[in-house]
Structure 1
Amino acid sequence: MALIAMSGCTEGNVTPSAGSAETSAPATTAPPSLTPTAAGLDAAAKTACAAAEKDITSALKEIAETEKIGPPAGHLAVSAQYSAGAASLYVHAFTDNDQVNDAVEGVATAMTDLADIWAEAPEKVPSTTDLTTAQKILTTACAAGQGL
């Protein structure tokens, strides 16, 4: 009996696992939005997701405007905007949801990396692929509500 209980093969353990699989399935079909609609997110994580979406949108708008300045002054201005965007995001990385926190930090890190590249006055506009990927991870974290 002890072996069966320790192996995790009790009826009580099977039901929650099946329930967990069912709750994670909608995450793959969730719309790509940071709007916290997942029931699994606590209030702090929902607030962090909504605030992060607002800050990212605002930062990207400012960055697009600043890119119009052009070199050489534009490089430093764009770098500063990416840095400011990253700084605003770190404020939202302190919830009880590690998945949301890590995803917010991922976007902030990608913005910081772009700030560093722009500060070096690149020959051409750097790739934002890492930022886009980090944003998708954050969208998934906010939609899934996992990690609580």
Structure 2
Amino acid sequence: MHGHVRTIDGNEPIRLIQVSVYRRDLSRIKHVYTDDQGRYDVEIPSGESVTVRFDTHPTLNNAEDWQPSVVSNVVPDNAVPLDRCLLRSGQDADPASAVDALGGYLFAAALGDAEAEGEDGYAATARARLSRLKQHTQALQEVQERLHRHFSGQA
């Protein structure tokens, strides 16, 4: 599986985004980081339905710069790239981009303790990024607030 990660307007590549691939049981298969051109390439078993998480890592200097994104139930094909555009933390965009970011945080919350061991500081960066995310409906604001409380309890 391969692709590019770019800014929400699609113009600038984003480097050092962690691209993690998970099985249906949420066990991580593998992860890689995007290069200076926002490209990534990760080998995974063919034909398997996976979830792909695009997120920052709390130990890197871009930890609070980008909102996460997740693609669920995808069967990657090496012939077709899986590209993603990320929303900059603190940037307002369309409602769909804000919902996409919430999906990334929901997935991170679902991973729970299994991932937390290797990601010290994720809760703190998630809290900071969530506080800068603008939701366009009351229902989504409530989801955002619950996620903020969840990550506050982990920090």
Scaled by the length of structure 2, what TM-score is found?
A: 0.32
Bigger share in helix: 1
- Structure whose CA Rg is larger: 1
Relative contact order (alpha carbons < 8 A, sep ≥ 6): 1 or 2 greater?
1
Scaled by the length of structure 1, what TM-score is found?
A: 0.33
